[in-house]
Amino acid sequence: MPKHKIGINTICTHIGEIKDEQFKGAVSPIYVSSSYEFMDTETKRYPRYFNTPNQEHLAKKIAALEHAESALIFGSGMAAISTTLLTFLKSGDHIVLQQDLYGGTRNLIEEQFDNYNISYSFVKGFDIQNFEAEIQSNTKLIYIETPSNPLLKIIDINAIAELAKSKDIVSVIDNTFASPVVQNPIDFGIDIVLHSATKYFSGHSDICAGAVTSSQHNIDLIWRLAKDLGGSLSDFTVWMLERSMKTLAIRVKAQQRNALKLAKYLNKSEYVAKVYYPGLKSHENHKLAKHQMNGFGAMLSFELKPNLDASQFLKSLKLIKPSMSLAGLESTMLLPTETSHALLTQEERKNQGINDNLIRFSVGIEEEKDLINDIEQAIKYIK
């Protein structure tokens, strides 16, 4: 590759390709061996050691996309998250986390961490002072997700990274919602970037995978636990993921173009009470989003007016699918009160600003006018 900084579509298409020296095929061959010739204890290859040819090569693409030195690919986003957290947290340690995290991560903390004698504080608020106030002498890790789910709040990534550095704490971000096309937290000083690769990396709603990127030093530490916990991804799926990631940047850019148009459309609709999208000038953190994001991503949320039944609205859609997951190239919507935030009490949801008419919208690549038509026909049906 040339020495100049290569563009994101070139990274997506070419970095980490395995050259087919034998037959000169255009795409990476799949190496499915679970047994490789023993060379020495340092270099032995094995799928659970995260170092088969397909795993090693695709990890290079993921690291390049996140401007990181190194990466590991896991069998799910949660495998990447749990392995990373347990690498840096030991019995007696404390972790500071943003309040509204992905439910699975929150569940891992609340259900499991007591068993490991790891204490935790969820931060109420999104300002740096709110995070600082929760730091204790035994705090070892700060964990954020921005934009947040489902209200698309924005946290100052650089301020978090600086705070963590000043206290010798490891900073970690789940960058799933944005994707590396839209946000590169390592450029803002964050130590470790996590992904549910099930989402934008896959993009076609047919792969479950995860990834972590960081310095080589941190990845070596994570690898030591990763090989013991055993959450590697099969080489068939790694190969599928490489195929998907070739179009990551063009997909996400098309999705976020649509998202901005849909956010503007919903913002003007007489049936919508509020739109949450960092690309709107009215968004409370629009300036910060502009500073730390490259575009504003393809996730948004909106509240229907109180006289409209949001559940009925979702059932009346014909093109947009009601779906738990996100980031596929097909548009999906869900009600956080019935899905991701169903386990919270009404009071807890109210405190987080999540009401019964809030709809989370993962915007896909369909034509803007078709998405708008679908929303309009569903509203006509329920009003």
Which residues would be at the binding site for ligand PLP (CB under 6 A)?
Answer: 76-78, 102, 104, 145, 174, 176-177, 196, 198, 208, 210
**Minimum distance of ligand PLP from residue 1's CB (angstroms):** 30
Tell me how far apart the alpha carbons of residues 141 and 378 are, in angstroms, rounded to a whole number: 45
> Measured from the CB of residue 194, what is the shortest distance to ligand PLP in angstroms?
7
Contacts of 218 (CB under 8 A, 6+ apart): 170, 191, 192
Residue 174 or 303 with smaller CB distance to ligand PLP:
174
The type of residue at 318 is: K
- 20: annotated active-site residue: no
Residue with tokens 């047919």: 206
Is residue 137 classed as helix, strand or coil in its secondary structure?
coil
Between 144 and 169, name the residue whose CB sits nearer to ligand PLP: 144
**Active-site choice (36, 46, 48, 257):** 48
DSSP string for residues in 180-236: TTT--GGGGT-SEEEEETTTTTT-SS----EEEEE-HHHHHHHHHHHHHHT----HH
A 10 A CB-CB count for 158 gives 16
Report how far residue 20's alpha carbon sits from residue 24's, in angstroms, rounded to the nearest whole number: 5
- Which of 104/125 has CB closer to ligand PLP? 104
Q: Indicate the residue among 210 and 336 with the shorter CB distance to ligand PLP.
A: 210
Q: Is the Cβ–Cβ distance between 70 and 59 less than 8 Å?
A: yes
- Of these residues, 102, 120, 200, 276, which one is catalytic? 102
Counting Cβ atoms within 10 Å, is residue 234 exposed (0-12), middle (13-18) or buried (19+)?
A: middle
* Owner of token pair 């009071």: 347
> Nearest approach, Cβ of 115 to ligand PLP (angstroms)?
20
Instruction: Indicate the residue among 77 and 364 with the shorter CB distance to ligand PLP.
Output: 77
Beta strands 139-145; 170-174: pairing state: parallel
199 is catalytic: yes
Nearer to ligand PLP, 123 or 375 (CB): 123
In terms of CB distance, is 81 or 375 closer to ligand PLP? 81
Least gap, CB of 68 to ligand PLP (angstroms): 18
Q: How far is the CB of 77 from ligand PLP (least distance, A)?
A: 2
What is the sign of the dihedral through the CA atoms of 286, 290, 293 and 296? Answer: positive
| Smallest gap from residue 31 Cβ to ligand PLP (A) | 24
Taking the complex as a whole, the smallest distance from the CB of residue 199 to ligand PLP amounts, in Å, to: 6
Crossing angle of the two packed helices 368-382 and 248-268, in degrees rounded to 10: 40
Q: Which of 206, 156, 207, 198 is nearest to 177 (CA)?
A: 198
Q: Any catalytic annotation for residue 49?
A: no
Instruction: Give the bridge partners for 73, in sequence order.
Output: 211
Place of tokens 């392995």: 83
Closest CA to 364 of 282, 251, 270: 251
Catalytic residue annotation:
48, 102, 174, 199
